[in-house]
Amino acid sequence: MQFSTTTDGGVTVIRCDGRLNMMAAPRLRSVLEEAVEAGQVRLVLDLEPTVFVDSSGLGALVAGLKTARRAGGDLRIAAAGDQVLTVLGLTNLDRVLRPYESVGQASHEW
């Protein structure tokens, strides 16, 4: 999995490209922690190019949410595909990590 980060208007967008599984989850946790440590606490994960998420990936998402909220911010997910949305729904995490249709929608509702 590859991660790319952009910041615009105080919102940091992290694009997750590939499979968010046990191999990629530790790197995502690090990317999110580094962003928060740098003062970027309004985070949007662009999951459009994410084709798969497993329990390790979900754990990284929850850890990132907790890290952002402890710092006074939030973590939002955007543009998730069917597989990701299904997993979020089955685990009821879509109630905590409310999915947004697009990065723009997630960013502008702050």
Mean pLDDT, to the nearest integer, of 35-56? 96
pLDDT digits (tens, 9 = 90+) for 95-109: 999 999 999 999 987
pLDDT digits (tens, 9 = 90+) for 4-21: 889 888 999 999 999 999
| pTM of the predicted protein model | 0.93
Domain boundaries, the chain: 2-108
Q: Is 77 helix (H, G, I), strand (E, B) or coil?
A: strand
Residue 53: what pLDDT? 97
- CATH number assigned to the domain with residue range 2-108, chosen from the 4 options 3.30.750.24, 3.40.50.11540, 3.40.50.150, 1.20.140.10: 3.30.750.24
What's the rounded Cα separation, in Å, for the pair 100 and 55? 21
Residues 6+ apart with CB under 8 A from 65: 74, 75, 96, 97
What's the rounded Cα separation, in Å, for the pair 107 and 100? 9
Amino acid identity, position 36: V
Beta bridge partners of 50: 18
